[in-house]
Structure 1
Amino acid sequence: MVELGKYAGTVLAAYGVTVLLVLGLVALTLTKGARVKRALEAQEKRMSKNG
């Protein structure tokens, strides 16, 4: 492992925060994608009834 010296805590905390933020963005993207997909399917269903 790389020797981080006296900055080890700061560097590792920065990596940890970055990983958490990236995972949060992935979760938000997946959640919103699923919500949009459901909305699109509902709209398509309404259109097929009217069309």
Structure 2
Amino acid sequence: MMPELGKYAGVVLSSYAVTMLLLLAVVGLSLWRAARVKRALHEVEMRQGKQDG
């Protein structure tokens, strides 16, 4: 169900698109950073001689 946006349709829909792109970018960067930190932590633990788990 799409509301009638009239002359503002372009602005509203482009705002939604930009918002979705920004949210996806934040999620993507968060996942990338989490993986990077996890790898770094694993490396530090291996240097200290600790086992997984």
User: TM class, shorter-chain normalised?
Assistant: over 0.9
Tell me which protein shows more helix as a share of its residues.
1
1:36 paired with 2:50, answer no
The number of equivalent residue pairs is 49
Higher relative contact order (CA 8 A, sep 6+): 1
Amino acid across the alignment from 1:12:
L
Instruction: Tell me the TM-score normalized by structure 1.
Output: 0.92
Could you list the structure 1 runs, at least 4 aligned residues long, displaced by more than 2 angstroms after superposition.
none
Consecutive unaligned residues in structure 1, runs of 5 or more: none
What's the RMSD between the two structures over aligned residues? 1.0
